[in-house]
Amino acid sequence: MVELDSVMLSRMLTAMTLIFHIIFATIGVGVPVMISIAELIGIKKKDRYYSLMAKRWARGFTIIVAVGVVTGTAIGLQLSLLWPSFMQLAGKVIALPLFMETFAFFFEAIFLGAYLYTWDRFKNPMTHWWLSIPIIIGGTLSAFFITTVNAFMNTPAGFNMEDGVINAINPIAAMFNPATPTKVFHVVSSAYMASAAILATIAAVTYLVKRDQEYAKRALKLTVTATLVFSISTAIAGDLSAKFLAEHQPEKLAAGEWHFETEEGADLVLFGTLGEDNEINGAIRLPNMLSFLAYGDFNAEVTGLDQIPDDEEPPLWIHYFFDLMVSIGMFVLGITFLYVLMTYIKRWNPHNKWMIWALTSIGPLSMLAIEFGWIYAEIGRQPWILRGFMTVAEGATTSPHVGAMFLLFFLLYFVLGVGTLVVLRKMFKNHPAEIELEHLYKEVDKGGER
């Protein structure tokens, strides 16, 4: 039984805030890209369906951004409230990216307001489209900066520590620590992928309930193609991340892969369960694949958990999360590939029932994969908060009131979550795209499309 002390409660509260925030943050980074693409296609092709798509997505997006902003504010403050000793130490080294993240956020906030309230204000529609670019830049840069902070916690760099005193700080080296490139690539790419996939799910559901099918077909084509492109880049980023882990954080890879003994030609363990004494049951073993995954060489030596001191070993249950994340990624990649393939082969109907049903699943699944991936990444560096320098227990607050705050925030996230769903539903349920299109563009030919 785990003891519910301040440390454990601080971990739980931070985890809860992040798990909730990530949903909104991910969409916040990725959806502007999709809005911008749809608006551009709408302008270039003079296709009002795409312009409407951009508008509808933007309207839903504002609700998501609002919750993203407030939960982001929460995690920003909670860092200092729950982990004061950690912030006192690490603040000296990572203040720069934290600070710059707020700049990026500021930049995005300014142009988001400008974008949302100027749809019909300019004579040239391209002027309005240009306003979407700073939103994308701001959102993606926020993701970049905040990911460098997390990367730093995994592979601290850019300072020296002697007897608990930090000196010789190099803020740039801390920001561009070894984990930064792969982490940023993976985070940004998967955020784009999940956002496109969520919009694809919405389009697929719209199509399934037999409403606005012209609109839904176009939305599907755009979102599924985008999901495919982004899931390919996410897969590449994932592969690079595995190679990074093998080199810099072998304990995380080993725990995730249940790789106990250091050996050459290591097997990849898929699924399975772990019995007592760490024997693996019911797993699929792919011979030598772990070595290949880690080093691009089937016979390379992969560090096992035997090389890691027992008290620095991450929990072994992260294996399930690693497997789930990768499986979902592969599934989404496969399904979107199939859909895109079918749209190019005349005889096949990409809008058959099975395909549409499968596509309804990719949004929620991609979001789950992002949560699983973060759980794997975060639990995989336990017991460290600053790998090699500070354990989680040393960083936590000593306040006795964390438990009450956990309940308070649980209630808050519950209300926000329900509120978001209710408002989004209200916003779209009684306002189908076709009607909105007719309403917006009276001159549009109304015949034959419904």
Partner 1 sequence: MGYEYIGITVLWLFLYGYLIVASVDFGAGFFAYYARITKKDHIMNKLISRYLSPVWEVTNVFFVFFFVGLVGFFPDMAYFFGQALLIPGSIAIVLIAIRGSFYAFESYGSKNNSVYMFLYGATGLFIPASLSTALTISEGGFLNVTESGVRLEFGELLLNPYSWSVVFLAIVSVLYISSMFLTYYADRADDADALSLVRKYALFWSIPTIIASMTVFIALSQHNPEHFNRMFDYWWMFGLSVLFYLITVFLVYSEKLYGWAFISVMFQFFFAFFGYGASKLPYLLYPHVTISESVTPDAMGLALVIAFIAGLLLLLPSLALLMRMFLFDADYIKGKK
Site for partner 1 in 308-337 (CB under 8 A): none
**Helical pair 180-208 and 6-45, crossing angle rounded to 10 deg:** 60
Q: Which is nearer to partner 1, 169 or 270 (CB)?
A: 169
Residue 96 or 205: the one with the smaller Cβ distance to partner 1 is 96
H-only helix segments in 162-277: 171-175, 180-208, 213-248, 250-257
Q: Please, which of residues 129-148 interact with partner 1 by CB under 8 A?
A: 134
User: Rule CB under 8 A: is residue 180 a binding residue for partner 1?
Assistant: no
Task: Spell out, one character per residue from 98 to 127, where the chain touches partner 1: x when CB under 8 A holds, - when not.
Answer: xxxxxx-xxx-xxxxxx-xxx--x------
DSSP letter at 167? E
For tokens 């369960």, what's the residue? 273
The C-alpha atoms of residue 387 and residue 161 are separated, in whole angstroms, by 13
Residue type, 249: Q
Which residue in 4, 19, 46, 62 binds partner 1 (CB under 8 A)? Answer: 62
Q: Is 415 near partner 1 (CB under 8 A)?
A: yes
Q: Is 16 in the site for partner 1 (CB under 8 A)?
A: no
Q: Any idea of the CA torsion for 267, 273, 278, 283, to the nearest 10 degrees?
A: -20
Of 194, 202, 145, 220, nearest to 28 (Cα)?
194
Minimum separation from the CB atom of position 212 to partner 1 (A): 20
- Asked whether position 170 contacts partner 1 by CB under 8 A, the answer is yes
Binder to partner 1 among 8, 15, 16, 69 (CB under 8 A)? 69
430 is a site residue for partner 1 (CB under 8 A): no
For residue 300, give the DSSP letter: -
Q: Burial level of 308, CB count in 10 A (0-12/13-18/19+)? A: middle
Rounded to whole angstroms, how far apart are CA atoms 1 and 143?
Answer: 36
* Residue from 8, 157, 161, 169 in contact with partner 1 (CB under 8 A): 169
Q: Which of 20, 61, 29 is nearest to 418 (CA)?
A: 20
Stretch of 87-95, 228-236, 354-362, 364-372 contacting partner 1, by CB under 8 A: 87-95
Tell me, by CB under 8 A, how many residues bind partner 1. 75
Examine residue 440 and tell whether it contacts partner 1 (CB under 8 A): no
Is 294 near partner 1 (CB under 8 A)? no
Per CB under 8 A, which of residues 350..409 are in contact with partner 1? 397-399, 401-402, 404-405, 408-409
Q: Which lies closer to partner 1 via its Cβ, residue 131 or residue 325?
A: 131
